């Protein structure tokens, strides 16, 4: 299957302020490179040569950065400077860029991880929309956080979500003793999912996935053995 990628780089970067007072989060440096460079290099190393980046906060700086650097990939900009669409809404907004692929790797620009993306993409068996196959695969880990996705063992099928701080819980269907796992900000979807995302609506992937999981299979991909850092705070 032909894979494209999308980097979510449109966030306001409020948790990194004042570093983001005059630049986007994607251009904050870590170990001598911008977060955007780290992400682009990782995706290209996995053999993906078509990458879409969404922009909003100081979006012109990201566009200028891409124009001034050479990357071994076709890079396109999904311009959300007029209206921020969130993650799932941002993917739908970028739909015209994904005409020639079968699946789309989605990666938050503030994530630094040793996850093997080539293995992740190959092991994520995404098929046509069918209740017997997965339309999305989420990289997940055992780690401390406030919000968790809930999965049914042993296939790690998404069945719910919970917020440990507020005790809010949402189940897609009843499961006895589901497994709580933290989302890593890395996922891969079948392009057919674009047909299921509302048009012109600002929406994140969490509520979308929870709605879709009632009818379609969404599975977790456990990668506890990898390093992982959220650089957004």
pLDDT at position 125 is: 61
pLDDT at position 18 is: 85
pLDDT at position 93 is: 98
pLDDT at position 126 is: 62
Domain count, the chain: 1
Contact 91, 97 (CB under 8 A): no
pLDDT at position 163 is: 97
Q: Which domain holds residue 118?
A: 3-230
CATH number at residue 141: 3.90.550.10
> pLDDT tens, position by position, for the chain (233 residues)?
699 999 999 988 888 888 888 999 999 999 999 999 999 999 999 999 999 999 999 999 999 999 999 999 999 999 999 999 999 999 999 999 999 999 999 999 999 999 999 999 988 666 444 445 689 999 999 999 999 999 999 889 999 999 999 999 999 999 999 999 999 999 999 999 999 999 999 999 999 999 999 999 999 999 999 999 998 77
CA pair distance 112, 185, nearest whole angstrom: 10
Put simply, whether the predicted model's pTM sits higher than 0.85 gets the answer yes
pLDDT at position 165 is: 94
Q: Which of 226, 184, 222, 223 is nearest to 205 (CA)?
A: 184
CA pair distance 107, 40, nearest whole angstrom: 10
Q: Where are the alpha helices (DSSP H) in the chain?
A: 35-45, 59-68, 86-93, 117-123, 205-212
């Amino acid at each position: 299957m032909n894979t494209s990628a999308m980097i979510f780089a449109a966030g306001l970067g409020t948790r990194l302020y004042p570093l983001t007072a005059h630049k986007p989060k994607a251009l904050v440096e870590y170990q001598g490179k911008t977060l955007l460079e780290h992400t682009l290099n990782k995706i290209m190393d996995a053999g993906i040569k078509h990458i879409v980046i969404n922009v909003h906060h100081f979006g012109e700086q990201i566009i200028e950065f891409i124009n001034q650097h050479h990357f071994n990939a076709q890079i396109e900009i999904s311009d959300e400077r007029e209206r921020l669409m969130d993650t799932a809404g941002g993917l739908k907004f970028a739909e015209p860029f994904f005409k020639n692929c079968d699946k789309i790797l989605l990666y938050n620009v503030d994530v630094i991880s040793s996850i093997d993306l080539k293995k992740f993409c190959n092991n994520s068996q995404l098929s046509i929309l069918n209740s017997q196959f997965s339309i999305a695969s989420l990289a997940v880990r055992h780690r401390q956080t406030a919000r968790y996705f809930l999965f049914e063992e042993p296939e790690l099928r998404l069945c719910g979500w919970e917020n440990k701080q507020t005790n809010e819980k949402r189940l897609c269907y009843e499961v006895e003793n589901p497994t709580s796992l933290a989302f890593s900000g890395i996922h891969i979807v079948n392009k057919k999912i674009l047909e299921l995302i509302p048009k012109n609506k600002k929406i994140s992937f969490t509520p979308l996935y929870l709605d879709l999981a009632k009818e379609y299979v969404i599975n977790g991909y456990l990668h506890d053995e990898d390093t992982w850092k959220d650089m957004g705070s």
